[in-house]
Amino acid sequence: MEIVKPNLKNFVKSLRDIGYTFEIAVADILDNSISANASNIKIFNVAEPEMIFSMIDDGTGMSDDELIEAMRLATKNPEQEREKNDLGRFGLGLKTASFSQCKKLTVVSKKNGIVSARQWDLDYIAEKDEWLLITPDPKWVKSLPLFNDLCYQEHGTLVVWQKIDGLNNSNFSDKISKLRKHLSLVFHRFLEGADRFKHLSITVNNNPVTAFNPFNISHPATQQLAVEKIKINDSTISIQPYILPHHSKLSQQEYEQYATEEGYTKSQGFYLYRANRLLIHGTWWGLHRAIDAHKLVRIKIDIPNDQDYYWGIDIKKSTANPITEIKMDLKRIIRQITEKGSRPFTGRGRRIEDKTTTRFWEIVAINDGFRFALNQNHPLFEKLVAELSDESLELLNFYLMGLQAYLPLEAIQLIYNRILIK
């Protein structure tokens, strides 16, 4: 038997090419901060004399032994049971996310009044052909951005990227803008401090990141449909569909905001949350075709952190592929919600053009066909809605839904044919 060591220089290059984008890599680092019960996270960039990117939190911090273990690759068994708020899985995120963006990773942590520091330098590893974890000089550590902030805190952790490949002064502004939008979406529940979650503050270069809830739940025209619970392996999946407001109910600014940079059509579909952190958004997982008629449909899925196997979640926590058993339930839910989520003036369904008449019915696209729907933009309907009480409006909506669902088209066609024959 022979011990065959990998060529570390080549291995490190492969390790760096997992497919992280800048914003996904930063979010992966922040997962550790949230798992460490941080309330405040600061992200800061220094451009001169070299590009340095720093992230500091006020989480529990790590002792020297804990820091060494955290710097180890694959420090955790992905199959072991975790705390409910643990956003990690493989014990790789800190390292792989950092290595995807930089060649020099320094982590400084404070716990019980003691500051510890360790460093990975990929150039040094390639030169020595050994995984040699560096203990940096304390004087050098003190010169790091945000180190003084860590000293003033009771506990916390500072992550510093140097020898950065993909970030420079020419594209820095665009990268930071995209990062802010990504963090505002991915961590919006923590930023909102809603639903019993601990409130989290994130700043990027001293500017607060504000939460962006993709379901526009505060708007009165947003339809929040009933939550459905699905059991799998003694664990519960929570699914709640939303239908966003029609553009006629929004200001132009608000309509564009909730379209996101991808647009409404590409933003429709499932939004998968794991332990309250958004992983995947704007996908049907190949179970449904994205069409304009369903562009206002967004379906929230909540799973705990013990279901990764059933959802095929990758190291980056940016792709997933649920197992067949789950997909069968999702298909059923898709059929139900897309029927309700179709909207006038979208998709291939077009209302009959008549400039002199406001019609009571619309022709609306659904899947590969169409259906008739009541025109809820009719002036009489809008006036009626404005004058009804909430209870009466609810009864009216139930009645209209039944009217639309059971429109006797076959009987109408039969009688029409009889009249023509006569």
List pLDDT tens digits, range 219-232: 999 999 989 988 88
What's residue 257's pLDDT?
93
Bridge-partner residues for 230, per DSSP?
237
Other C-beta atoms lying within 10 Å of the C-beta of residue 24: 17
All CATH 3.30.230 domain ranges in the chain, comma separated = 223-341
What's residue 197's pLDDT?
56
CA–CA dist 255, 247 (Å, integer): 6
Other C-beta atoms lying within 10 Å of the C-beta of residue 214: 18
Q: State yes or no: pLDDT of 74 exceeds 70.
A: no
Lowest mean pLDDT among 11-25, 118-132, 236-250, 376-390: 376-390
> Of all helices (H) and strands (E), which one includes residue 158?
strand 156-164
CA–CA dist 150, 35 (Å, integer): 18
pLDDT mean over 355-384: 64
Q: State yes or no: pLDDT of 245 exceeds 80.
A: yes
List pLDDT tens digits, range 173-211: 888 999 999 999 999 999 998 655 568 999 999 999 999
Lowest mean pLDDT among 27-36, 394-403, 412-421: 412-421
Q: State yes or no: pLDDT of 373 exceeds 50.
A: yes
Mean pLDDT of the chain: 82
> Are the beta carbons of 120 and 104 closer than 8 angstroms?
yes
Bridge-partner residues for 223, per DSSP?
243
Taking only Cα atoms into account, the Rg of the chain, rounded to an integer number of angstroms, comes to 27
Q: State yes or no: pLDDT of 420 exceeds 50.
A: no
Q: State yes or no: pLDDT of 416 exceeds 90.
A: no
pLDDT mean over 64-74: 89
Question: Taking the mean position of all CA atoms in its chain, how far away is CA 203?
Answer: 18
Res. 345 pLDDT band, cuts 50 70 90: very low
What's residue 395's pLDDT?
76
Domain 8-208: give its CATH code: 3.30.565.10
Tell me how far CA of residue 117 lies from CA of 136, 184, 310, 361, in angstroms.
Answer: 7, 30, 37, 68
What's residue 330's pLDDT?
93
Using omega within 30 degrees of 0 as the cis cutoff, is the peptide bond preceding 49 cis? Answer: yes
CA–CA dist 91, 271 (Å, integer): 24
- 229: exposed, middle or buried (C-beta count within 10 Å: 0-12, 13-18, 19+)? exposed
CA–CA dist 193, 187 (Å, integer): 10
What's residue 307's pLDDT?
83
List pLDDT tens digits, range 97-138: 999 999 999 999 999 999 999 999 999 998 888 889 999 999
Class of domain 223-341 as given by CATH? alpha beta
Q: State yes or no: pLDDT of 246 exceeds 60.
A: yes
pLDDT mean over 341-367: 52
Res. 352 pLDDT band, cuts 50 70 90: very low
- 48: exposed, middle or buried (C-beta count within 10 Å: 0-12, 13-18, 19+)? exposed
Q: State yes or no: pLDDT of 351 exceeds 60.
A: no
Question: Taking the mean position of all CA atoms in its chain, how far away is CA 355?
Answer: 43
> Of all helices (H) and strands (E), which one includes residue 186?
helix 172-186
Half-sphere exposure in the Cβ direction for 277 (13 Å, CA): 25
pLDDT mean over 86-104: 74
pLDDT mean over 165-175: 77
CA–CA dist 30, 10 (Å, integer): 28
Tell me how far CA of residue 75 lies from CA of 39, 231, 308, in angstroms.
Answer: 24, 30, 18
Q: State yes or no: pLDDT of 73 exceeds 60.
A: yes
Alpha helices in 129-171 (DSSP H): 138-142, 147-152
- 238: exposed, middle or buried (C-beta count within 10 Å: 0-12, 13-18, 19+)? middle
Top pLDDT among 77 and 376 is at 376
List pLDDT tens digits, range 23-42: 999 999 999 999 999 999 99
Residue type, 35: S
What's residue 90's pLDDT?
40
pLDDT mean over 48-59: 91
All CATH 3.30.565.10 domain ranges in the chain, comma separated = 8-208
What's residue 271's pLDDT?
96
Query: In the chain, pLDDT over 70 holds for what percent of residues?
Result: 78
Find all residues with CB under 8 Å of 326, minimum gap 6, and list them: 230, 232, 237, 310, 311
Minimal CA–CA distance to 117: which of 102, 134, 132?
134
CA–CA dist 271, 301 (Å, integer): 6
CA terminus-to-terminus distance, the chain: 95
Half-sphere exposure in the Cβ direction for 188 (13 Å, CA): 16
Can you state the angle between helices 390-405 and 379-387, rounded to 10 degrees? Answer: 140
Q: What is the DSSP letter of 6?
A: -
Bridge-partner residues for 118, per DSSP?
107
